[in-house]
Homo-oligomer: A and B are copies of this chain.
Amino acid sequence: MPDANALHDRIASNADRDLNDLLNLLRIPSVSTDPSRTSAMRETVDYLSRDLQAAGFQTSVWETGGHPALFAERTIDASKPTVLVYGHYDVQPADPLELWDSDPFDPQIVDGRIVARGASDDKGQVYAHVKAVLALHEATGTLPCNVKFLIEGEEEIGSPNLGATVEAHGKDLQSDVVLISDGAMLPGPTPTLTYGLRGLAYLEVRVTTADRDLHSGAYGGAAPNPIQALAEMIAGLKDDQGRITVPAFYDHVRELGDDERTQLERVPFDADAFQNDAGLTATPGEPGYSVLERLWARPTLDVNGIGGGFQGEGSKTVIPNTAFAKISCRLVPDQDPAAIANALEAHLKRVAPHNANVEVLQHAHGRWALSPLDGDGMTAATQAIRAVDGVDPVYVRTGGSIPVVADFQRLLGSDVVLLDMGLESDRIHSPNETFDVALYHRGIRVSAEFFRAIGQGG
Query: Do A314 and B280 form a contact, CB below 8 Å, given A238-B228, A285-B222, A300-B221?
Result: no
Contact A300 B227 (CB under 8 A): no
Tally of A interface residues using CB under 8 Å: 100
Contact A309 B315 (CB under 8 A): no
Contact A304 B278 (CB under 8 A): no
**Which residues of A291-326 are within 8 A (CB) of B?**
291, 294-295, 298, 300, 302-321, 323, 325-326
Contact B228 A302 (CB under 8 A): yes
Binding stretch for chain B, among A68-76, A131-139, A210-218: A210-218
Interface string of A218-239 (1 = CB under 8 A from B): 1111111101101110111110
Q: Does residue A35 face the partner (Cβ distance < 8 Å to B)?
A: yes
Complex Cα distance, B227 from A308, in Å, reads 13
The one of B279, B284, B319, B354 that contacts A212, using a Cβ cutoff of 8 Å: B279
Task: Determine the chain B residues whose CB is within 8 A of the CB of A96 once the complex forms.
Answer: 213
Interface string of A157-196 (1 = CB under 8 A from B): 1100000000000000000000000001000000000000
The one of B274, B308, B314, B328 that contacts A315, using a Cβ cutoff of 8 Å: B328
Q: Is the interface of A mostly helix, strand, loop or mixed?
A: loop
Complex Cα distance, B210 from A133, in Å, reads 40
Contact A305 B316 (CB under 8 A): yes
What distance in Å separates the Cβ of A328 from its nearest Cβ neighbour in chain B? 6
CB-defined A-B contacts under 8 Å, sample of 30: A33-B316, A157-B314, A202-B317, A210-B278, A211-B278, A214-B430, A218-B428, A220-B300, A221-B285, A221-B294, A221-B300, A221-B330, A221-B399, A222-B295, A228-B235, A230-B231, A231-B306, A232-B234, A235-B236, A281-B357, A304-B316, A305-B316, A305-B320, A306-B307, A306-B308, A309-B326, A311-B326, A314-B363, A315-B328, A316-B326
> Other than the known A220-B330, A318-B430, what 4 A-B pairs have Cβ atoms closer than 8 Å?
A217-B399, A222-B295, A228-B235, A282-B355
